[in-house]
Structure 1
């Protein structure tokens, strides 16, 4: 039995008892929660060495109130039973390493590949705990940084447009005339154009709707820097999507680095330097095209599980139910 409050209320009403009482009875007597072998340390760490496989992912997830857990998962379990290898409260590398190292070295040495993001703590954990494994930086984290840099350019111009409109309104008030915002050919004001352009900048132009194509034309004409930034993000995405050879990918990334330097965009320059710093683990993607998508998908499952139970009131009991299904 693995019931949510809604399930318990439905069952309880059928038998004429309170849902809260039924849930309490389930936790204390009907389930194996009280005799769970990991109950004593569940809030700090959970370990399931039997689930370790050749291909793993490591990421962070939030259970409640923004409290983070580092979670190590098996790709081969595909988000089902056997997925969770370890969950450790917090993201401090030393703490996580000390827990994962409880798994015998012989087992940890069987891991061939581990996917992760570019966070220094994740890299240190992977390197110390799985010295025989190839570390692969998730391509989607790299692309996300580029998209955020593009949105930063758009937001900068949006604030400028808001300031300009506020100044125009103030001048109109002093001159005792009615203010009317200038509209573009598609009906947007400048401020609206910059606000409504947010979503299509995440997508490839082949997926734009007719309205988005029109809006993009106006945006790029008025703000060439946004078009340059968009082209840089799409070119970076294209390297990951269409390149299969690691050497060719390295050459393409070097050319992309040069274009970023020529653009003069500070935020893109930061990303470019970050890529160069992590280039070896980023290029490892092109060996097996491995990503951290399985970890992100599992994080979504945890959020859905948390939502179903209307939050996390008892962390240990929540983890007990979670690991019963996924560990």
Structure 2
């Protein structure tokens, strides 16, 4: 706008902040860096998550799902992620209003669980299924990375051996044109996806990886089976039975990384199973975090954090 009218962008920004907007009269200005609270936005179904506003500084953000990422979405924003700090701010909302909350979705972080339990004692806590699935994918990638390092070591050994014997070294290529090292590096992408969404080259690459590394195929099947439980099961009791069978397969696989996930799921069993009541996730919170990041990029160069928060809450609170 400043360039359109041929005026200084910085001057226009100052004029807007100091004279055209209501920033100076904002009733949350004095504490906005530490916390923001909008009790009127509380609803029956909430999400709690953390987000980075600037320089990696984290804020805990409580949102109302019915706001759908528009006006009325933000219930609270608190600097930091310490449970006691966030609880102290959210408890400023009258207990009568907080007791109206029926459900709150969150990740598996202990601090988020404590905040939800203390502040919304009547609400059902639901662990976000996508965080659970992400752990399984990370465990699968850990297996792939282990084999990739082994392939790099083997190639280095072969290169050094050829150098000592003064012979030429050439990396062996597979039928799809990849070297073993490249195959394992490029396999990263298709392992995130269901095989129905693989491209032709990814299908070819997957066949080679699974033939050469059966453990990767076994890990992929475990990750996809866990995903399938969340996607295709509608009843909590059936989900419980399927997860029990999945745990048994994990035990038989003897994969340490998947064993860790199995234990994590067991420790959060009840809140994970609560997903199957209403199939609620933290997707709305993740989507809102993306909106905040996009909004922040438009304010690049604005050093006044309070003014940034003022503009943000004008739109979303």
TM-score w.r.t. length of structure 1: 0.96
5 Å-filtered alignment, 1:113-128, equals 113-128=103-118
SS state of the match for residue 76, structure 1?
Answer: helix
Equivalent-residue separation in structure 1 for 2:199 and 2:7 (angstroms):
54
5 Å-filtered alignment, 1:101-140, equals 101-140=91-130
Give the match for residue 236 of structure 1.
226
5 Å-filtered alignment, 1:15-94, equals 16-94=6-84
What is the deviation of 1:311?
5.7
Give the match for residue 239 of structure 2.
249
Equivalent-residue separation in structure 2 for 1:170 and 1:310 (angstroms):
49
Deviation string, structure 1 residues 284-321 (Cα, Å, up to 9, x no partner): 00000000000000000001111122265221111100
Equivalent-residue separation in structure 2 for 1:28 and 1:175 (angstroms):
75
SS state of the match for residue 114, structure 1?
Answer: strand
The 8 Å contact of residues 54 and 112 in structure 1, kept in 2 or not, is answered as yes
Deviation string, structure 1 residues 20-74 (Cα, Å, up to 9, x no partner): 1111111111111111000000000000000000000000000011100000000
Change (3 A) 1:81 1:210: same
The ranges of structure 1 where at least 4 consecutive aligned residues each deviate by more than 4 angstroms after the TM superposition are none
Q: Does 1:142 align with 2:103?
A: no
What is the deviation of 1:265?
0.3
Give the match for residue 214 of structure 2.
224
SS state of the match for residue 67, structure 2?
Answer: coil
Q: Does 1:180 align with 2:173?
A: no
Change (3 A) 1:141 1:312: farther
Equivalent-residue separation in structure 2 for 1:183 and 1:168 (angstroms):
14
For the aligned residue pairs, the C-alpha RMSD in angstroms reads: 0.8
Equivalent-residue separation in structure 1 for 2:104 and 2:150 (angstroms):
44
Question: Out of 304, 307, 311, which is 1:317 matched to?
Answer: 307
What is the deviation of 1:17?
2.3
- Structure 1 stretch 89-98 or stretch 308-317: which is displaced more? 308-317
Equivalent-residue separation in structure 2 for 1:309 and 1:40 (angstroms):
21
Q: Does 1:152 align with 2:136?
A: no
Provide structure 1 residue ranges, at least 5 long, that are not aligned to the other structure: 1-6
Equivalent-residue separation in structure 1 for 2:16 and 2:160 (angstroms):
65
Deviation string, structure 1 residues 101-150 (Cα, Å, up to 9, x no partner): 00000000000000000000000000000000000000000000000000
Provide structure 2 residue ranges, at least 5 long, that are not aligned to the other structure: none
